[in-house]
Amino acid sequence: MLIDFFYSLRAAKLPVSVKELLTLLECLQADVVGPRAEACSLDDFYFLARTVLVKDEKHFDRFDRAFGSYFHGVEQLTDFSREIPADWLRQQLERLLSAEQKANAPKLDWDELMNTLQKRLEEQKEKHEGGNKWIGTGGTSPFGHGGHNPQGIRIGGQSRNRSAVKVWEQRAYRDYDDSQELGTRHIKLALRRLRQFARNGNELELDLPGTIRATAANAGWLDLRMVPERHNSVKVLLLMDVGGSMDDHVKQVEELFSAARTEFKHLEFYYFHNCVYDHLWRHNQRRHAERIDTWDLIRKYPRDYKLVFVGDATMSPYEILQPHGSVEYNNPEPGAEWLQRLTDAFPHCAWINPEPQGVWQYRQSVDLIRQLMGNRMYPLTLQGLEQAMRQLMK
């Protein structure tokens, strides 16, 4: 029992042992989850298996992918205020839409979009496919998935066109790996430009080259020379976008993160999604339970910290300018307000964008973020990093 599942996890490079598999089987025999347990579902088994088999949170994402592959795409648990029947969101076939149908897809502004969704939830009584009005799949409606709409709310399904202004589901992101092996030393060398050593304190450090020279000049009599101890005084506050379109840039960001952890002794890092709002988090698996208030972060770190954002700045403009505009969170204040507060609190700041600089001009949200950052946005290239480090040293 569960032997194939065990080997699937091992094939995914998860450090699971036979002893842990036996523990899982004992839990099943004791009906922790199972036919005689009060709650019995694939979700229950998922949480039990993850608790027993995974020893470190950094492996949660790898376990999720292996589990989903073995059980043919297990869906994330959702927490909808009103439950939508799963059958409504089950896509039966891939519908090909013509250019004319895509061009005529209804586009609603923010208030109209939210009000219309509320009406659809009250009025809709059955599944719908291929239309332009109801919650469904494969059409041009602003609500559902599997079709095309330039500005809608994705409900269920997988992201395709990345044009949704809000997503109705609970999504799991994974932490960036700070042990990623770098394929090049260039990132480290570029970041090293920011390291400035401040000489302060008492003469606590032996100047070995100076001592050798002074001893030789003194005909061999030992002449100790001391120099002030050197301290790496650079302090960096790193805020990283994670999930969504940033999945395309994981390797680049992990290389940057690894280099930053190596080069900066005083490094603090937090995550956000798309735009910064009133909270951030340190661990993506606990982002709903262990949030850090952004005001607390501003109060905690002094102004001499160098603030570095890492993100593609690719999102709906509503997420920056509109209250409740976040794709997954009903933020009471727009993202622009929080960006302004952070840049005021940390005047030495820069935004690193992994997207090629040539596409920035075609994305309204990138232009908005650049303006809010005072044009201190730089590409994640060797030249861009050097420019960002020079900006942070000013």
- The whole-angstrom separation of Cα 332 and Cα 383 is 38
One pLDDT digit (tens) per residue for the chain, 394 residues: 688 888 888 888 888 988 998 898 888 888 787 655 555 577 788 888 888 898 887 788 788 888 877 775 444 333 334 555 555 555 554 555 566 655 666 666 656 666 666 666 665 666 656 565 556 555 666 655 556 655 666 665 555 555 555 555 555 555 655 444 444 456 766 676 665 443 444 556 678 888 888 888 888 888 888 776 555 578 899 999 988 888 888 888 888 888 888 878 888 999 999 899 999 999 877 777 788 999 999 999 999 899 999 999 998 888 899 888 887 778 899 999 999 999 999 999 999 999 988 889 888 899 999 999 999 999 988 888 888 888 888 7
Contact yes or no for 25/2 (Cβ under 8 A): yes
> DSSP strand E in 201-342: where?
205-206, 226-227, 230-232, 235-241, 266-272, 279-281, 291-293, 306-310
Determine how many CB atoms are found less than 10 A away from the CB of residue 84: 18
Contact yes or no for 157/66 (Cβ under 8 A): no
Alpha helices in 12-109 (DSSP H): 18-29, 42-53, 60-70, 99-103
pTM score above 0.85: no
Domain made up of 186-195+233-393: CATH architecture = 3-Layer(aba) Sandwich (3.40)
* Closest listed residue to residue 148, CA positions, set 107, 119, 120: 107
